[in-house]
Structures are given as structure tokens and as C-alpha cells.
Amino acid sequence: MEATRVKEGNKPIENRKPKTENSAGYFQRKKIILLVVLLLFILNSCTRREEISKDVLVIGLESNPTNLDPRFGLDLASSHVRQLIFNGLLKKDPESNFVPDLAENWEIPDDRTYIFHLRKGVRFHDGTEFTADDVKYTFDTILDPSVGSPKRDGYKVISRIGVIDRYTVKFILKEVSAPFLSNMVMEILPRHIAKKKGKDFGKHPIGTGPFRFIGWKMDEWVRFEANKDYFEGGPGLSGIIYRIIPDETIRILELEKGNIDLIQNGISSDILPRLEGNPALKIVKKPGTNYSYMGFNMKDPILKDERVRRAFAYAIDREGIIKYILKGLATPSGGLLSPFNRFYESDVKRFNYDPERSKRLLDEAGYMDPDGDGPGVRFEVVYKTSQNEQRKLIAEVIQEHLKKVGIGVKIKSYEWGTFFSDIRRGNFQIYTLTWVGLTDPDIYYYIFNSKSIPPAGANRGRYINPEIDRLTEEGRVTLNIDKRREIYSRIQKIIAADVPYVSLWYATNVAVMKKGVEGFVLYPDEDFASLKDVYIRYNSSNYSGG
């Protein structure tokens, strides 16, 4: 889920106009900026690597987490923090299979009952033992309307949670739920602390995970120390520091100076050749499932017309953006689920780059071009994005694509918290974002069912389609895999044709790290789960301090 990423961000950006096939001017400007910032860093550098213990890993993040309480945080940065601190009953392996975590195993005596047998001897960071009471408390509070968890809708299928004994918990469901197990990755809270702290729990979270939370300085860092008593064995690191650096130029300079040890994604593709030539660094790439898209506000008087949304889809040159801006580190997408997903449907309507067809659709919708190839526009929309440099560049390129078919675009770029808040509230016309962690096809219910309009879910564009409502509700109560595939095949075809999203691409995940960093594994969904197994192999060149 978007947490699931929502990579993205109140400052207007300058109205630059790079061409898709020739962005040399943009890259030249970036080189100049890099040199200027480098001089500033020589004069005023912060968090020098040599001031930190060599077995503490420093990771560069693009944005602040928004909430460290698992019941509330939805963004990727919050997820990256929480997965060091907490465990769920289940977890995903690198192939996105669900495997035991705090639960040793589970049984399903009937299609509405799930019994989880918990690990014994697991302790929270304060030394208190983890038990079935903590599991029950976590899900009970998510389901409590007064708590206000944005994740509540995903668990409303639960009728009752029973504690059989200290290490056994039973979930009884209201109805059959095909995605139920996928929701058991939810992090478990310590009842005795969370109950006392209430909504302040996220200020100093305590879990069972491989690292303990030490502190968080907004806009600067989040710090952790190793949990040596972790039930799977202590981590290979003594600690981790997440440094929050929204500006990509500064992140890269800090990596090159030796003040950051690892960056996952958040690196413009034009910078990679330079990093690949750095003998102190190594780069790992792997196809991913992160799905980038353009979203529409379906209540907007212009965008509610399917012909207009299709015109947007035909006007965007995805292949050009992938080739010239992303440097091939993505593949075009036709829907949320990637080809790695067993429910993926390839036979959906595709919108290849066709500006002439886009113009005809706009004409049919009644939005005539006032002056042919002149400067006049059919209409203008506001395009919201974050302050990520590559995101802004992509927005500018898309702005040029849409201008060619007579659509005027005003780009507004915001810091992440403001941007995401606007999207969640439906305060937008068009925007681009990336979903991360899409595993179960029930995500279509969460995003496109009419009952999932916020705060109940992520139907932020207010898409209403009775057939999608019926199918997504049927899909979540169908256990037969073949039948379920048929349902989600139909859903994917309808969504692709209706265009509540313009599907853009699936990103290739990229991690850049010092050569001494060992054990880091790229997950398809940008997960940081492997950090518990990371260690640092020392030599004279790995940690020279830059």
C-alpha cells in the first residue's frame, strides 16, 4: 500500500520547460547546483560519518515520517521507521510470500476462523513479554471508531478476537475474507504502554523489533539502537540513523563525502552513472512493483468526463520519460498489479502515446482548441506534486506533453506532509504518486470501491462505478484462486478503460551503498526488512569520512 509510498510534496517551482529528448540544460544546471552546494558543505558539513560509531549504519531518507504509531502512519517513511521497531503476526519475504513472524504458525478450522499460535519468550523493548493480549489490543483499537485509525476499514471484517491462552489468539470473521492473511502484517503494539500513552504512543514507540527507537528530530534524523535480545538474534549493527534530507543534491553529496552509507531509490537516474564510477560505492538494481500513476478528481467538472481522462492518457509519452528521464529504470504499466503478481492481467486497454487521438477526444468532449497550434488552451488544470527534484522534472515534461494537445497545466509543488494531506482530503485536480507494497488484489477495493472514499479508504478521486463496487466486494469473499483470478481480471480491464488513474510505470529499485555494507536485500516493494541482517565489513577505504 501507499505506505504504503506515497513518495512525494508549499512552494511553487520555477516554470522550466525541459524537452523529453533533450534535458541537457536541466542536467547542466544540476551540475552547477552540485558544485555550489559542495562548496557550502565543505564550509558547513553536518553529521560527519567519523563522529559516528563505525557499526552504525546511516541511511538517507527523502522525507519525514508522519506518524510512528502503526495504527495511523500511512506513508513510506513512517513504514521504514516502524519496520525496525515492530513485528506483525506475519511478514513478507523477498518474493512477497507471507511467512511467520510473531506467529509461529496458524490454522484455519473453517473459512471464517483463524487461530494464530504465537512465539513464546518474545519481549518488547521495555522487557515485558509479548502475549495474545497485545495482539487483541492492537486490532481492537484499530477497529474502535473513537481511535480514528485510517486503517480501520481493512479490518472491519473481524467480528471478534478471542484470547484462547497467553500464546494463542483466535480471529472470528463476519464473512469470508480472501485478503485477511495479508492484513496480518500489521505491527503489534504493547498493550500496557499504548493504552497508557494513547495517541502519544507514536512519540516514543516501543515494539518487539530488531532495533529500539532512541529519538526523532523533525526534518533531521531518526535514531535507533540494536535490540540485542531480538527473538531472531541480535542485528549485525549496533544502531541505525535515518537522516532526513529532502534535497537530492545534498543527499548525493553526503553519500559521496562518506556521511551516508546507503540510499534506496530517491536517486535521479541521471546521477547513477556518476555513482557507478565511484570506486567506494556499489549499486544494486532489481525490477520492482512500485506503481506510479496520475490520479484524477472525478468530481471535477472537466475531469469527470472519461474522454478527457483518456485524452490525458494518450497525451503522455511514457516511453520517452522512461528512456530519457528515468534512463530505462522503469517499465510501462497497464494497472496497479505488476507482472510479478499472480493476479496480473496483461490484456487490458493500453494508451500508447498518440497526441492526435488525444486532440480528437478533447474535441469530442466539447473542449475545442481556440487557436490550433497557438498559445491558447482548451482548459487549464492544477497538477500537484512533491518537492522531489525528479518528480518536479517529470511534472514539467508532462506539462509540455499536455500543452501539445491544448491542455494548460499549472504545477504546484509542496513539501511532503502538505502534499499528502491535500491528496488524502481530495484537494486536487490531478497529481502523481507511487503505490508501494501492492500484493493482494484487494487493493482495488481500497482504492476504487465507493465505500473507500476517505477516511474509509484511498478512493481519493471519488471514483464511483457500481460494477466495480460489486466485483471488488465479490473478490474479497472469494477463496477459490481461479474464480478470484476471473474477478480481478475483469476489474483490471474495467479500471484500465475508465481511467480513474493514468498508469505510468513500474519502477526498478536501486540501492547505492558503500562497498563495506553487506547483507542488504532489495525487496520488490522497497521494504527495509533486511536491515536486521546488514553488517559492515571494514577496510581502510570504506569509512574514511569522505
- Annotate 296-364 with three-state secondary structure: ECCCCCCCCCHHHHHHHHHHCCHHHHHHHHCCCCEEECCCCCCCCCCCCCCCCCCCCCCHHHHHHHHHH
Provide the CA 526 distance to its chain's centre, in angstroms.
8
Cα(366)–Cα(359) distance, integer angstroms: 11
Cα(368)–Cα(359) distance, integer angstroms: 9
Question: Strand 168-173 to strand 113-118: parallel, antiparallel, or no bridges (unpaired)?
Answer: antiparallel
pLDDT at 155: 93
DSSP 3-state of 60 = strand
Cα(197)–Cα(165) distance, integer angstroms: 26
The conformational region for residue 96 under phi > 0 = left, psi -120 to 50 = alpha, else beta, is left
pTM value is 0.75
Cα(176)–Cα(179) distance, integer angstroms: 9
The fold of the 301-507 domain, in CATH, is Dipeptide-binding Protein; domain 3 (3.10.105)
User: CA dist 241 to 77, 234, 448, 523, Å?
Assistant: 13, 17, 37, 20
pLDDT at 12: 25
CB 188 within 8 Å of CB 207 = yes
Question: Cell triple for residue 398?
Answer: 508532462
Cα(411)–Cα(521) distance, integer angstroms: 36
pLDDT at 364: 97
The fold of the 48-83+206-287+509-536 domain, in CATH, is D-Maltodextrin-Binding Protein; domain 2 (3.40.190)
Cis? peptide before 455, omega within 30° of 0? yes
DSSP 3-state of 523 = coil
With residue 243 as reference, give the H or E element that holds it: strand 239-244
pLDDT at 67: 92
CB-CB neighbours of 169 under 10 Å: 25
Question: Cell triple for residue 382?
Answer: 492544477
User: CA dist 279 to 282, 346, 411, 446, 516, Å?
Assistant: 8, 41, 39, 45, 12
Cα(241)–Cα(226) distance, integer angstroms: 11
Among 453, 451, 458, which residue's Cα sits nearest to residue 472?
Answer: 451
Helices (H), 405-480: 416-424, 443-448, 466-475
CB 435 within 8 Å of CB 290 = yes
The full set of domain ranges for the chain reads 48-83+206-287+509-536, 87-203, 301-507
Q: What does the longest C-alpha to C-alpha distance in the chain come to?
A: 75
Q: What are the phi and psi torsion angles at 294 (to 5°)?
A: -110, 130
pLDDT at 215: 95
CB 143 within 8 Å of CB 158 = yes
The tens-digit pLDDT sequence of the chain (546 residues) is: 444 334 332 222 223 333 334 444 444 555 545 444 444 444 344 456 566 788 999 999 988 898 999 999 888 889 999 999 999 999 988 777 889 999 999 999 999 999 999 999 999 999 999 999 999 999 999 999 999 998 988 899 999 999 999 999 999 999 999 999 989 999 999 999 999 999 899 999 999 999 999 999 998 999 999 999 999 999 999 999 999 998 888 999 999 999 999 999 878 778 888 999 999 999 999 888 889 999 999 999 999 999 999 999 999 999 999 999 998 999 999 999 999 888 999 999 999 999 999 999 999 999 999 887 778 899 999 999 998 888 999 999 999 999 999 999 999 999 888 999 999 999 999 999 999 878 889 999 999 999 999 988 899 999 999 999 999 999 999 999 999 999 999 999 999 999 999 999 999 999 999 999 999 998 888 889 899 999 998 765 554 443
CB 396 within 8 Å of CB 16 = yes
User: CA dist 20 to 30, 327, 409, 448, 506, Å?
Assistant: 16, 11, 16, 32, 19
Cα(193)–Cα(138) distance, integer angstroms: 11
CB 139 within 8 Å of CB 173 = no
Pick the CATH number of 87-203 from 3.90.76.10, 3.40.50.720, 3.40.190.10, 2.60.40.150: 3.90.76.10
CB 330 within 8 Å of CB 336 = no
Question: Strand 168-173 to strand 158-165: parallel, antiparallel, or no bridges (unpaired)?
Answer: antiparallel
Cα(4)–Cα(75) distance, integer angstroms: 6
The reply to whether 301-507 shares the fold of 48-83+206-287+509-536 is no
